[in-house]
Structure formats: structure tokens, C-alpha cells
Amino acid sequence: MHIIDKKWRRLDGRRIELPIKEAVEQALIREKAAGHRLKVCIGSDSQVKGKTTEFASVIVFLREHKGGFMYIHNEKTKQKMSLKERMLLEVSMSVNVAYALCDLLDQHNVELEVHADINTDPAFKSNTALRDAMGYILGMGFVFKAKPNAFASSSCADKVI
């Protein structure tokens, strides 16, 4: 799953016709010109529906004290996988997006966080993937956030599946 090359959309459904990196750069330039200070949070979530698993990845642009907006990518697979595999695939999708955008965000001095829809409470099943996900994200040099602070994945991506 190479989501960088796939189609993205806005929350209102309008397709983003440009390659995502170009669209993000235009957004950064536009927001900076409007006087906004940005932070970008990237997250993914998934949901199993019968034999199909649907994934959503989001790039959330937060304007300091001024709300935000996001770009969304959805895809489906019929590949069977365990919960831990699915959690780590979500993380992998987010890391791929973050890696593709990190140089651009650095150029524009925009803070980046990668959010994982994984619970820090061992009572939850998703917790089995926490150590691996945290190691992967931190090992790639990104700021890591898990539930309850991982709103890009657990709130934003969750709502667009």
C-alpha cells in the first residue's frame, strides 16, 4: 500500500488533484501567507467490515488558536491480518506519509507528529502493538503520540472510515 501515490481528498469530499506533496506545500505557503503558525499531525485508523478492512490516513493541519483542516486518503483490502498486524500497518501508513513530507515540513519550519491509534492501557487489545509502534515511529525520528493524545488517528481518521 503506497498511499503517497494515491488519491487524496478534503473533508468536504473535493479531490486533491495535485500530488499530495505539492498540495501540502501549497497549503503551507497559503497558511503562512495568511499569518498562521501550523503543526501537522499524521495518523491512520482502520475498521474491519466483514471480510474487508478499510483504512483511513489523514494529514491534519492545525492552525495555532485558529482551528485546522485535513487531507484524507481511504483504501480497502481483503487481506486477513491479526489485530497487531493491522495496528502496525496503520502505523506504517502514517510513517510513509510522514517520511514523504518531513523534508518539506522542515523547510517550512512546521512541527510534525505521528499519531498511533494504539491504547497505552494494557487492558486494551491494541496495546500489544504499542512497543513496536513506538519504536518504529521514534526510530524514524518522529514525535510519537498514542491514545489518548493521538487525535489524528483516533478521532480524525476514525471519523472518515
pLDDT at 5 over 80: no
What does the pLDDT average to over 41-63?
A: 97
pLDDT in tens, 58-108: 999 999 999 999 999 999 999 999 999 999 999 999 999 999 999 999 999
% of the chain exceeding 70 in pLDDT: 97
137 in Cβ contact with 144 (< 8 Å)? yes
What is the CA angle 47-52-53, rounded to 5? Answer: 30
- Terminal CA-CA length for the chain: 16
Write the DSSP string, 55-83.
EEEEEEEEETTS-EEEEEEEEEE-----H
pLDDT in tens, 101-139: 999 999 999 999 999 999 999 999 999 999 999 999 999
Least Cα distance to 157 among 97, 109, 84, 81 occurs for: 97
pLDDT at 2 over 80: no
Region for residue 46 given its phi and psi (left: phi exceeds 0; alpha: psi -120 to 50; beta: otherwise): beta
97 in Cβ contact with 153 (< 8 Å)? no
pLDDT class for 1, splitting at 50, 70, 90?
very low
Tell me phi and psi for residue 111, to 5 degrees.
-70, 145
Least Cα distance to 33 among 108, 111, 112 occurs for: 108
